[in-house]
Amino acid sequence: MTGGGSSLPAVQALLRVLAAGRDVAELGTAFGDGAAALAVTARSVVTVESDPERAAVARERLAGFANVEALEGDAYELLRGRGPFGFVFADSGGYDWERILDLLEPGGLLVKDDLTPGRPVDGDPVREFLLRDPRLAAAEIVTAPGAAAIVAVRRS
Ligand SMILES: C[S@@+](CC[C@H](N)C(=O)[O-])C[C@H]1O[C@@H](n2cnc3c(N)ncnc32)[C@H](O)[C@@H]1O
């Protein structure tokens, strides 16, 4: 089983707010907790998990949500050609930001969590891309003590 557990409750609350009325893609389902939060307000959610054991747990967890499609495999492979999405929750690690940007519609939102607050932008590839790429406008926010996320929008 690969690393990385479920998103924090505060992040799940953020996901519920930002997903409202949108078509959402989540890279990295884990056990389905983030997808369940997204599903409360999203129009649709497609979520992909590469670990078979986690994907099986998530399928069961998410079976009651009519607006969720829970897929097993590599998120980049399975989401290629889909979308564009109004919200992408990039939560799998090993990020290919160009491919993630391709999934986003203009005005679409992107969230990356699991950051340590207060770190410099220079030398941090995630912050350098998300906070400085001219195709995005982004803000870093503290989500819980010792935890931060970046929320970005794809500029029109
Ligand atoms: C931090 S956890 C996801 C937590 C989940 N989004 C939540 O909110 O509860 C990261 C997950 O991404 C999965 N993962 C890693 N690389 C992946 C890939 N290329 N495609 C799909 N899932 C991947 C890992 O197996 C792991 O379960």
Ligand 1 pocket check for 113: Cβ under 6 Å: no
Ligand 1 centroid–CA 35 distance in Å is: 11
Query: Measuring CA to CA, which residue among 43, 49, 25, 1 is closest to residue 105?
Result: 25
What pTM, to 2 d.p., does this model score? 0.97
Query: Beta strands of the chain (E only): which ranges?
Result: 23-27, 44-49, 68-72, 85-90, 104-115, 136-144, 147-154
2 pLDDT higher than 80? no
Q: Is the CB of 86 under 6 A from ligand 1?
A: no
Residue 75 Cα to ligand 1 middle (Å): 9
Model pLDDT for residues 33-72, shown as the tens digit of each residue: 999 999 999 999 999 999 999 999 999 999 999 999 999 9
pLDDT digits (tens, 9 = 90+) for 74-98: 999 999 999 999 999 999 999 999 9
147: three-class secondary structure by DSSP: strand
Neighbours of 85 (CB within 10 A): 24
Determine the average pLDDT of the residues in 132-155. Answer: 97
